[in-house]
Structure 1
Amino acid sequence: MIRVRAGLGALGVLVGGYGAWVLLTRQDQDQLIGAATWLAAGVVLHDFVLAPLVLLLLALGARVLPRQVRAPAVVGLVVLGTATLLAVPVLGRFGERPDNATLLDRDYTAGWLVVAGLTLVGVTVGTWISRSRHRTTDDLDGGERGPGAGGR
């Protein structure tokens, strides 16, 4: 197992090194500055905007949502949040050019709405499964909520 991890780590370092070499040898200075700015902005936005916002939403959700809904809601938040972040360039139609109709040639908003709907369905199904499991466990406990009943 350790050899597999070491091999995968070495492969990752090699691929990353090759990517860095290609970036540094085949791009002009403006492109390198743009890439560095993009990477730095991504770190800043993640650490100072996205992560605190997600933590705030999770804290609010922990107070408001019933216990059985929390895990599916977190999964839904992670899935939809990630999909939304990845879709920002196409949803904003960044890079659209009037002389090339093949760029951004779809209704990406409709696609994002489908992903959001499927995520909501998944969260609903996950909540239903979680609630049914908790009901079964409660039935086995006899519905008691004393000190020895598991403290749920």
Structure 2
Amino acid sequence: MRAALGALGVLVAGYGGWLLFTRESDLVGVAVWLAAGVVLHDAVLALVVVALGALTVRLVPAPARAPVVVGFVVLGSVTLLAVPVLGRFGARADNPTLLDRDYTAGWLVLAGITVVAVVTVALVRSRRRVSRR
């Protein structure tokens, strides 16, 4: 299974490379996006994660640390993926079917579910810790 998935990944990457070089694409624009992704990751995202981790260690009790970190990862990843729809990038007046939902409400529901799950798991972990003593 691992070899099949690896081969599929190589095929998809090869197809993407073929499309990049055979069609009229802006290679400079692609390079800028790739560089911007690395810079944003290293200069913004990594610093935010380290800062949140440092705050978590200092402010959150030990049984709740792992659930809080998982909540940060879930919300951070989903938020990054949702930026285009939350910002309504790509919405056009001539096509009202593009971005026709309230994506902010959906994100808030997911954030609420994540917070409830984090609090529930943290409480369960703290009660288990107390019962073991």
Aligned-partner Cα distance in 1 for 2:129–2:31: 49
Matching of residues 35-50 of structure 1 within 5 Å: 35-50=30-45
Matching of residues 1-152 of structure 1 within 5 Å: 4-29=1-26, 32-138=27-133
Aligned-partner Cα distance in 1 for 2:75–2:105: 14
CA drift at 1:20: 1.4
Report how many aligned residue pairs link the two structures: 133
Please tell me the residue identity of whatever aligns with 1:33.
V
Please tell me the residue identity of whatever aligns with 2:90.
G
Q: Greater relative contact order: 1 or 2 (C-alpha under 8 angstroms, separation 6 or more)?
A: 2
CA drift at 1:59: 0.8
Identity %: 62
What's the Cα RMSD here?
Answer: 1.5
CA drift at 1:26: 2.7
CA drift at 1:56: 1.0
Aligned-partner Cα distance in 2 for 1:27–1:136: 65
